[in-house]
Each structure stands twice: as structure tokens, then as C-alpha cells.
Structure 1
Amino acid sequence: MSAWLPRMRRIAAMMVGMPDYDAYLAHMRNHHPGQPAMDRTQFFRERQEARYGGRNGGKCC
């Protein structure tokens, strides 16, 4: 049962539009290896800005 808990949290977060920090870190490793990744707080703030009034719509690529 405990193996389902992290997955259910991820699903619930996606349902309410909360961004996935781990997916962001994987993206940065795979597509932008020379650039530093934002910390969790910076990432959350940037995602909120992109979703609710960002300058570039939140697209990096």
C-alpha cells in the first residue's frame, strides 16, 4: 500500500495543476546539462508565474 502513496500524491498534484519538480530535474539533466537547476522554491514560483501571468508562457524549448 505504501508504494501507491507517492504515485497518488503525484496524480493529485497533477490534477490541481501543481508542477512536478522531479520531472523538471530530469528534464534539466537530459536537455540542459550545463545549466544549473532551480531549487524547489524557485521552481514553484516560476511555474506559478508562468501559469498565472508569466512573460513567456513557461516554455523553455
Structure 2
Amino acid sequence: MASAQSFRDQLRTLTKCVCDGARMMVGQGDYGAYAEHIRRTHPDREPMTETEFFRNRENARFGVGNTSGFRCC
């Protein structure tokens, strides 16, 4: 039989997966994963702040800066 701690760990992992999936569905990636990726693969670049990252993902989602106009798909 699984321990209560094991169950809590599994529940925490499931909750994180569900939250990450929901964020991706609405165009919001995981800032922590982004920041870690930048630090690991682009050590010469400073990662965006969390606010900048959020704004960048929102702009990409809604086509801000897209010269051909708004595009939902």
C-alpha cells in the first residue's frame, strides 16, 4: 500500500501537469522552464523577467506585432 507522502507527491505532480497543460492551452508557457532553458543553452543572454515573459506570450497569442493583422489560428 502506498504511503500518504507518496500519494501527496503523486497528487502534486498531477496538479503541476494539469496546471502546465492549462497554461499551454491558453498560450502561457512555464516561466521556470523558460528561464532554466535560457540559462542552460544561452548563458550570454539574460532571461526576460516573469512580467516580460507573460507579455511576450500574450502578444504572440494574440498576434501583436503581426503586420498581416489579428490571427487566431
Tell me which interval the TM-score lies in, with the shorter structure as reference length: 0.5 to 0.7
**Structure 2 alignment gaps of length 5 or more:** 1-10, 67-73
Structure (1 or 2) with the larger CA radius of gyration: 2
Q: Shift in Å at residue 46 of structure 1?
A: 1.6
The two structures have a TM-score, normalised by structure 1, of 0.67
Instruction: Spell out structure 1 runs of 4+ moving beyond 4 A.
Output: none
Give the aligned length.
55
**Structure 1 alignment gaps of length 5 or more:** 56-61
Work out the CA distance in 1 between the residues paired with 2:55 and 2:26.
Answer: 16
Q: Shift in Å at residue 5 of structure 1?
A: 1.0
**Which aligned pairs between 1:6-45 and structure 2 lie closer than 5 A?**
6-45=16-55
Which residue among 49, 64, 72 is the counterpart of 1:53? Answer: 64
Work out the CA distance in 1 between the residues paired with 2:26 and 2:64.
Answer: 17
- Give percent identity, aligned residues only: 40
